[in-house]
Amino acid sequence: MINLNINQKNYELDVDPDMPLLWVLRDVLGLVGTKYGCGVAQCGACTVHLNGDAVRSCVTKASRAVGKKVVTIEGLSENGDHPLQKAWLEVDVPQCGYCQTGQIMSAAVLLRENKNPTDEDIERSMEGNLCRCGTYLRIHKAIQLAAEMQRNG
Amino acid sequence: MKSSFLAGGGLMISFSWLPELALANDTIAPEGWAELTGYIKISPDNTIKIINPNPEFGQNLMTSLPMIVAEELDVDWKNVIVEMGPHDNVKLGPQFTGGSNSVRMYWKPLRDAGAAARQMLMQAAAETWNVPLEEVTTKEGMVIHEKSGKSGKYGDFATKASGLPIPKGVKLKDVKNFKIVRHSKKNVEGSKIVTGKPLFGLDYTHEGMLIAMIHHPPGFGMKFTSFDASEALKMPGIKDVFSIKLYEDGYEQAGFDTRSFNDLLVVVGKTTWDVMNARKKLVVKWEPAGDTKDYAGGRNGKREVIVPGELETTSTQLEKMQEYAKKPAQQLRKDGDPEAAFKNAAQIIERTYNAPFLAHNCMEPINFFAHVTSEKALMVGPQQGPGWSEPSLSKLLNLPADKIEIQMTRMGGGFGRRAYGHSHFEAALISKKVNAPIKLVYTREDDMTYGIYRPMYTATYRAALDANKNLIGFHVKGGGIPEHAIHANRFPAGAVDNYLAEGWSIPSNITIGAFRAPRSNFNAAAEQSFLDELAEIMGKDPIEFRLELLKRAKEKPVGKNNEYDADRYAGVLNLIKEKSGWGKPENKKYHRGVAAYFCHNSYAAHVVDMVVKNGKPYVERVISAMDCGIVVNPDAAANMVQGAVIDGIGNAFYGKLSHKDGVPEQNNFNRYRMIRHSEAPKKVEVYFVENDIDPTGLGEPPFPPVFGAVANALYKSTNKRHYNQPFLGEPLQLNNTNKKTF
């Protein structure tokens, strides 16, 4: 049995402590907004927040999350209205959409720590998130827009 | 067009693609929805539900196809909700997403459906109000009779309208009056995407569902001889380990039945993690399969195909290609007397281009859900063409087609990869075997090493110039493993008096298939690089050189069957010339490359502006010009072009799938280099030629010329022509002669 706090809810789960958080979220809890893309921390589709840090849940053992707060895309905002989510819709970023929740979760950490990110800051923070459809331009623009929305409250 | 009365009220009407067949789906519209044509449902509160027929993998057709219906129906887009349609080829057409065909194929049928439904609503109102139909009009979801001052919502008349016969040949709107089409609309699934709702195949779940994985041979041309599952079976959560044969001996493969391996080891368990772990405990003995036999179906009947058993290695493949390139090949097109032109030439320019296999690398790995019983099958997952996998499923499961229900999920990328049905069949056979609902999941490694890859290509281009540097002969000879890429009737065919195109191929056990703009994605790299070099040698501007050739092709075309429209081709070149400020001094800071290409009935041109960033070539800006006829959803279309540009730069710079003794050398993103955020251009400006031509393709056409434009910019940047892909990283090493041979 391990105890996990996910999106401000406590769960007591009978899972292998070595099971990556990704599969706990997807297969055990049905929180499928966190995506499987590579399993080796190369694509960023599985990005979640662990105590506020962006981590790749595909290589993060469930045991590592014990006693910490996990936030997934489902818990990023109450009504899907995080500035990034709003900006993503405004810029109409997605094509296939598969990588986008991971992109948003990576960007959310950047924006929390850096209210006014430069192009280079965005590039550095987003380098680990792949998009085969090639929406990087719009992702970049949406992050800038969200930062602006955040600054203007 | 078909119509039929149903018990229980209402009329179901459908624009049938197979007019002589009865309706496949005779269910009654639910919850008070009145159904008008297979594509439209209207509720009493005037909500308009539009059914999207085609599976979505990122082209935004969940939005753009319903826009076409809404336009002719004359409704307020705000009141429209979109639903993914069921698989029903009779009611909803071909339902194939690929070949940049969705908008092109559905343009007329969807306009007809919207216009017919609007007319039926008008007729229902006219009958209710007892006024002549000619005096009734509509405005954004309202039916109006001005004379009497009467008006009502579509929802008020929908039930009555659904009982009327479908009018034929209803006059369509003048395209100049479009209010929805040609106006950007946001992705209707945007909110679900950014909040992580279960949209994708991998997100699908079902009561009692188990997870299945396939342990396929490590390399192409291999098979297992024995396996020991005793340790794997002891692992937690594991239900079963067994082998399946995908196709029985003699099975006649339909076009999209391509599969890499036939004998597969399967592990079934409770969670993905359980199955992943158990797989590691399998003890399997592999050996070369030797030559095997396949049976291909098709128009010419069942045909035996020998699949060679050699365990292939990239360097050997390259040597073999060189050898084959010297042999006589199949003549694909000949105009004039190319032999004489080359014999009499004052100068011959010859260049050879090579490109490796490419993996699709859809972000969502291959997966499929199946629940098969002795009576029926439920299939759910990402797929580009349910209509193609259904007949094969029917054969493989021995179930009639009407007992197979296929549901289409949103796809995390497709790019051609999900046109192939093998994963559906595998899932179905596994479900049947374990007698339970299962979801087949490929790991990234499975996905990348069980590829239906873009083939490996080569092409040698030759140009004959006279003493005045006029182009008097053109020759292309292309080959590949296991197919060549040559489109013999495309530019510059039609523009050169003496022209020869030839092709050859080498059989292989490495499976290949459609990859975003098949064949074109290599041709546009090779041919457009060659034309650039040719222009330089001839002392001409690369855009002007192409325009001269196109002028010739228009005014005095050479030969027959030229696929392209020289005017439209020149149109995108003229537009790119203007929008890129071609030749303007302010752009001197860039190493610029230009390329243009025609495929999938559309025209694309790019100017790539390259700089050096951190000591490496970097594409900072791209200007794109497209002619795809009427642009249905402009901002979404621009998004797709921007994506194609970035995808193109990534594949041109880094894309490579190589083999050693049959084993793919890249199996995940740590070895297969994909373009990343910082490598994407800062800006991709997209311009569309404005015309009123019915829409043609857009998903594929912008992709191929990116490779050529990148190659041409790289030349400016590095002073070296790049003939071998990928251009950065480790290009294919071939003894590239690139010199005059006679």
CA B161/CA B44 separation, integer angstroms: 12
Residue B30 pLDDT exceeds 50: no
pLDDT at B15 over 50: no
Q: Is B614 within 8 Å of chain A by CB?
A: no
Token pair of A141 as six digits: 């623009």
% of chain A at pLDDT higher than 90? 99
Average pLDDT over residues B70-76: 98
Q: Where are the domains of chain B?
A: 2-189, 207-294+360-449, 320-358+453-718
Q: Which pLDDT value is given to residue B732?
A: 63
- What number does CATH give the domain B320-358+453-718? 3.30.365.10
Instruction: Tell me if A98 and B271 make a contact (CB, 8 A cut-off).
Output: no
A135 and A87 part of one domain = yes
Domain at B2-189: CATH code: 3.30.365.10
**Residue of A19, A28, A38 with shortest CB distance to B444:** A38
Tell me the pLDDT of chain B averaged across its residues.
Answer: 93
d(CA A139, CA A119): 12
Residue B667 to residue B217: CA distance in whole angstroms: 13
Phi-psi bin for A19: left (phi > 0), alpha (psi -120 to 50), beta? beta
For residue range A18-63, list pLDDT tens digits in order: 999 999 999 999 999 999 999 999 999 999 999 999 999 999 999 9
| Six-digit token string for B703 | 């992709």
Nearest chain B Cα distance for residue A100, angstroms: 7
Q: Which residue has the higher pLDDT, B1 or B459?
A: B459
Q: What is the pLDDT of residues B576-589, one digit of tens each?
A: 999 999 999 999 99
Residue-wise DSSP of B430-472: HHHHHTS-EEEE--HHHHHHS--BBPEEEEEEEEEE-TT--EE
Q: Is the pLDDT of residue B606 over 80?
A: yes
**pLDDT for residue B1 is more than 90:** no
Q: Closest residue of B to A17, CA-based?
A: B273
Q: What per-residue confidence (pLDDT) applies to B716? A: 97
Shortest alpha-carbon distance between residue A135 and chain B (Å): 6
User: What is the per-residue pLDDT across B402-429, written as a single tens digit (0 to 9) for each?
Assistant: 999 999 999 999 999 999 999 999 999 9
Of A33, A96, A131, the CB nearest to B57: A96
Contact between B90 and B24 (Cβ < 8 Å): yes
Check if A127 contacts B (Cβ < 8 Å). Answer: yes
CA neighbor of A19 nearest in space, from A83, A76, A63, A53: A63
Residues A56 and A103 in one domain: no
CA distances from B250 to A52, B288, B296 (A): 57, 21, 9
Confidence of residue B299 (pLDDT cuts 50, 70, 90): confident
A6 touches chain B (CB under 8 A): no
**pLDDT band, residue B301 (cuts 50/70/90):** confident
One-character DSSP codes across A44-96:
-TTEEEETTEEEEGGGSBGGGGTTSEEE-GGGS-SSS--HHHHHHHHHT--SS
State both tokens at A63.
């045991």
Q: What is the mean pLDDT of residues A58-74?
A: 98
- Residue in chain A closest to B683 (alpha carbons) equals A137
Please say whether the beta carbons of B437 and B430 come within 8 A: no
With cut-offs at 50, 70 and 90, classify the pLDDT of residue B733. low
Mean pLDDT of B217-243: 97
**Is there a single domain that holds both residue A47 and residue A9?**
yes
pLDDT mean over B96-105 = 94
Q: Can you tell me the distance from the alpha carbon of A146 to that of B622, in angstroms, rounded to the nearest whole number?
A: 25
CATH of the domain at A29: 3.10.20.30
pLDDT (0 to 100) of residue A59: 98
The rounded percent of chain A whose pLDDT value lies above 70 is: 100
Domain that holds residue A99: 83-151
Examine the fold and report which residue of A29, A53, A75 is the final residue of a domain before the chain moves on. Answer: A75
- Mean pLDDT for B149-178 is 96
Pick the CATH number of B207-294+360-449 from 3.30.365.10, 3.40.140.10, 1.10.1370.30, 3.40.50.720: 3.30.365.10
User: Could you tell me if A66 lies within 8 Å of chain B, comparing CB atoms?
Assistant: no
Q: How much is the ipTM here? A: 0.99
Residue B61 has pLDDT above 80, yes or no: yes
Q: Mapping DSSP to helix (H, G, I), strand (E, B) and coil, where does residue B657 land?
A: strand
Position B300 scores a pLDDT of 79
Mapping DSSP onto H, E and C, the string for B395-422 reads: HHHCCCHHHEEEEECECCCCCCHHHCCH
B738 — pLDDT class (breaks 50, 70, 90): very low
pLDDT for the residue numbered B318: 95
- Do residue A98 and residue A70 come from a single domain? no
Strands B659-660 and B40-42: unpaired
Percent of the residues in chain B that have a pLDDT greater than 70, as a whole number: 94
Beta strand B404-408 pairing with B377-381: parallel
Residue among A83, A81, A132 nearest A107 (CA): A83
What total number of domains does chain A contain?
2
Q: How far is A67 from chain B (nearest CA, A)?
A: 22
- Do A93 and A32 fall within a single domain? no
Confidence category of residue B562, pLDDT binned at 50, 70, 90: very high
Q: Could you say which of B56, B194, B198 has the minimum Cβ distance to residue A80?
A: B194
**pLDDT tens for residues A81-101?**
999 999 999 999 999 999 999
B102: tokens are 């969705």
**What does the block give as tokens for B4?**
């039929």
Shortest Cα distance from B628 to chain A (angstroms)? 19
Which phi and psi (to 5°) does residue A140 adopt? -60, -50
Could you give the CA distance from residue B28 to residue B32 in angstroms, rounded to a whole number?
A: 10
Q: Are B461 and B527 in contact (CB under 8 A)?
A: yes
